[in-house]
């Protein structure tokens, strides 16, 4: 025969309940492990953190475009002046501008693609403490990161309105806050 537990030595399950009405932690009312679904995987990044990371990445990409423009224009001008030809027609100027534009787009694509494929983050995401993961919880592969970078660039083409639509879609996807480019690539942005 066992003795009843001493109420003075028994700690209440809740601080607001007296010891006599406390429920032992292993009773059927309080199983040892919570029942019901547990949140699995990393915690989704907050929309504010994603916006801050996007703004930082936009500033970095603007700097890359600026550098690419001047690098191509100065190189082209140096080549033409070195050949003794003064560029005085629209065709030469259009070639320089086209080369600068393509170089800038390639730099922006590489900025979004390579760090995302390897580490799951760009400089903006690193500064905000968030990262991109695939369904496995690891950084997306090269293919998914490339598609994500291309789709992110395409969203910015119609005067940035695609980013606005993407932001609205991100806010409406309540549990995971995935944007259109994330859904298409099977990725999501999570906190570190």
pLDDT at 33 over 60: no
Contact 109, 156 (CB under 8 A): no
* pLDDT-based confidence at residue 7 (cuts at 50, 70, 90): low
pTM listed for this prediction: 0.72
pLDDT at 30 over 60: no
User: What's the confidence (pLDDT) of residue 5?
Assistant: 66
Cβ atoms within 10 A of the Cβ of 66, count?
Answer: 11
Which range, 27-36, 65-74, 160-169, has the best average confidence (pLDDT)? 160-169
d(CA 127, CA 57): 10
* Better-scored residue on pLDDT, 124 or 97: 124
User: What's the confidence (pLDDT) of residue 166?
Assistant: 92
As a whole-number percent, the residues of the chain with pLDDT over 70 amount to: 77
Of 79-83, 91-95, 107-111, minimum mean pLDDT range = 79-83
d(CA 127, CA 129): 6
Tell me the pLDDT tens digit for each residue of 52-86: 999 999 999 999 999 988 888 888 777 777 776 66
pLDDT at 123 over 90: yes
Tell me the pLDDT tens digit for each residue of 130-159: 999 998 889 999 999 999 999 999 998 888
User: What's the confidence (pLDDT) of residue 11?
Assistant: 52
Long-range contacts of 112-117 (CB under 8 A, 24+ apart): 112/57, 112/61, 112/145, 112/148, 112/149, 112/152, 112/153, 113/142, 113/145, 113/146, 113/149, 114/145, 116/140, 116/145, 116/148, 116/149, 117/141, 117/142, 117/144, 117/145, 117/146
Q: How far is CA 122 from CA 105, 115, 164, in A?
A: 16, 6, 20
* Better-scored residue on pLDDT, 41 or 166: 166
pLDDT at 92 over 50: yes
pLDDT at 102 over 50: yes
Overall average pLDDT of the 3-30 stretch: 54
pLDDT at 19 over 60: no
């Amino acid at each position: 025969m066992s003795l009843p537990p001493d109420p003075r030595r028994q700690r209440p399950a809740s601080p607001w309940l007296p010891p006599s009405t406390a429920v032992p932690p292993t009773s059927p009312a309080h199983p040892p492990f919570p029942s019901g679904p547990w949140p699995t995987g990393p915690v989704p990044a907050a929309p504010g953190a994603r916006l801050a990371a996007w703004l930082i990445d936009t500033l970095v990409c603007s700097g890359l475009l600026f550098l690419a423009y001047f690098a191509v224009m100065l190189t082209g001008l140096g080549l033409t002046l070195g050949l003794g030809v003064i560029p005085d027609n629209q065709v030469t100027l259009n070639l320089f501008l086209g080369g600068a534009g393509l170089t800038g787009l390639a730099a922006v694509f590489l900025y979004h693609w390579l760090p995302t494929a390897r580490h799951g983050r760009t400089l903006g995401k690193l500064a905000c403490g968030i990262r991109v993961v695939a369904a496995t919880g690891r950084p997306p592969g090269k293919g998914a990161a490339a598609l994500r970078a291309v789709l992110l660039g395409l969203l910015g083409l119609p005067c940035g309105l695609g980013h606005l639509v993407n932001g609205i879609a991100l806010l409406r996807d309540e549990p995971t806050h995935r944007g259109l480019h994330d859904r298409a690539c099977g990725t999501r942005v999570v906190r570190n």
